[in-house]
């Protein structure tokens, strides 16, 4: 069995992933719609938090500011660049890094497969 967030091999006896800490490993889903909902609402957000925790702290903070997770207000790339005293391209690079990592997550790949069915 593979962890849906990070792809780590999981033993049947384990309650959570040793790599990313995801703990809904043995979730039973009955149909495709329920599986898609679980991936969207639980697995992908956990994956985003896990990716951000593995980014450099300044990069993660800038992405959280753009997404509105830092202070509850979604800021534009330009606003964050001014606040952090960096060029806008730097913010684009941080967001691109997050998106590349997201595309590699097993849960994102599975979600894409299920939506194409």
In the block, residue with structure tokens 């069995």: 1
Contact 110, 4 (CB under 8 A): yes
For residues 40 and 82, give the distance between their C-alpha atoms in angstroms, rounded to a whole number.
32
pLDDT at 114 over 80: no
What residues form DSSP beta bridges with 9? 2
pTM beyond 0.85: the answer is no
**Residue 20 per-residue DSSP state:** T
Q: What is the mean pLDDT of residues 45-54?
A: 88
- pLDDT tens-digit profile of 27-40? 777 788 888 888 88
Residue 73 φ/ψ, nearest 5 degrees? -120, 125
More confident residue, 75 or 114: 75
- Map out the domains of the chain with their CATH numbers: 32-115 (1.10.10.10)
Longest dimension (CA), the chain: 49
Residues counted in the chain: 117
Confidence label for 78 from pLDDT (cuts 50, 70 and 90): very high
């Amino acid at each position: 069995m593979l962890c849906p967030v990070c792809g780590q091999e999981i033993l049947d006896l384990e309650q959570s992933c040793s790599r990313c800490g995801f703990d809904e490993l043995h979730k039973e889903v009955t149909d495709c719609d329920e599986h898609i909902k679980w991936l969207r609402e639980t697995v992908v957000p956990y994956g985003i938090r896990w990716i951000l925790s593995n980014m450099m702290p300044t990069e993660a903070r800038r992405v959280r500011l753009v997404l509105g997770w830092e202070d509850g207000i979604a800021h534009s790339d330009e606003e964050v660049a001014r606040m952090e005293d960096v060029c806008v391209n730097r913010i684009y690079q941080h967001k691109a890094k997050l998106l590349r990592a997201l595309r590699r997550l097993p849960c994102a790949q599975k979600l894409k497969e299920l939506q194409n069915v």
